[in-house]
Amino acid sequence: MANVQMPAQSLPAGQGGNAFVAGLRRILRDPFSVAALVIYVLLVLVAIFADQLMTHDPTQIQFRANGRVATNQPVSEAFLLGTTNLGRDIYSQLIAGSRNALMVGVTAAISVAALGTLVGLLSGYFGGRIDAFLMRLADVALAIPFLPFVIVLSGFFRANTWNVVIAVALLLWPNTARVIRSQVLTVKERAYVEAARVTGASDLRILFVHVAPNILPLTFLYGSVAIGWAILTEAAVSFVGFGDPSRISWGFMLQDAFVSQALSRGSWNWFLPPGICIIMVVIAGFFLARGAEEVLFPKLRS
Partner 1 sequence: MATGLSATTPLVEARGLTKRFAPPARLTDMFRKERPHTHAVNKVDLTISRGESIGLLGESGCGKTTTGRLLLKLIEPSAGDILFDGTAVAGLAGPSLIDFRKRAQLVFQNPFDALNPRFTIERALAEPLVNTGVERATHRDRVEKALSQVRLPPLARFEGLFPHQLSGGQLQRIVLARALVLEPDFIVADEPVSMLDVSVRAGVLNVMREVRASLGLAALYISHDLALVRYVCSRTLVMYLGRIVEEGPTEDLLKSPLHPYTRALMKAVPVPRVDQSRDPLPIIGNVSDARGQPKGCSFRDRCPLAIARCADDEPALRSVAPGRRVACHLV
Asked if 107 contacts 229 with a C-beta cutoff of 8 angstroms, the reply is no
Cα 39 from Cα 249, distance rounded (Å): 18
Cα 179 from Cα 28, distance rounded (Å): 25
Residue of 2, 65, 143, 204 that binds partner 1 (CB under 8 A): 2
Binding mask 138-177 for partner 1 (x = CB under 8 A): ----------------------------------------
Binding mask 209-248 for partner 1 (x = CB under 8 A): -x--xx----------------------------------
Q: Does 24 bind partner 1 (CB under 8 A)?
A: no
Q: Is 6 or 143 the residue whose CB approaches partner 1 more closely?
A: 6
Asked if 300 contacts 290 with a C-beta cutoff of 8 angstroms, the reply is no
Residue of 156, 191, 266, 299 that binds partner 1 (CB under 8 A): 191
Q: Does 132 bind partner 1 (CB under 8 A)?
A: no
Alpha helices in 127-247 (DSSP H): 128-143, 146-156, 161-187, 191-198, 203-205, 212-239
Stretch that binds partner 1, among 27-35, 166-174, 185-193, 219-227 (CB under 8 A): 185-193
Q: Does 298 bind partner 1 (CB under 8 A)?
A: no
Cα 91 from Cα 253, distance rounded (Å): 11
Contacts of 124 (CB under 8 A, 6+ apart): 131, 180, 181, 182, 183, 184, 185, 188
Asked if 188 contacts 125 with a C-beta cutoff of 8 angstroms, the reply is yes
Residue of 106, 108, 122, 196 that binds partner 1 (CB under 8 A): 196
Q: Does 204 bind partner 1 (CB under 8 A)?
A: no
Residue of 29, 64, 136, 205 that binds partner 1 (CB under 8 A): 205
- 244: number of CA atoms within 13 Å, CB side? 16
Residue of 86, 190, 203, 208 that binds partner 1 (CB under 8 A): 190
CB atoms < 10 A from the CB of 246, how many?
10
Residue of 14, 19, 279, 293 that binds partner 1 (CB under 8 A): 19
How far apart are CB 76 and partner 1 at their closest, in Å? 56
- 31: number of CA atoms within 13 Å, CB side? 0
**Where do contacts with partner 1 occur on this chain (CB under 8 A)?**
1-2, 4, 6-7, 9, 11, 17, 19, 190-192, 194-202, 205, 210, 213-214
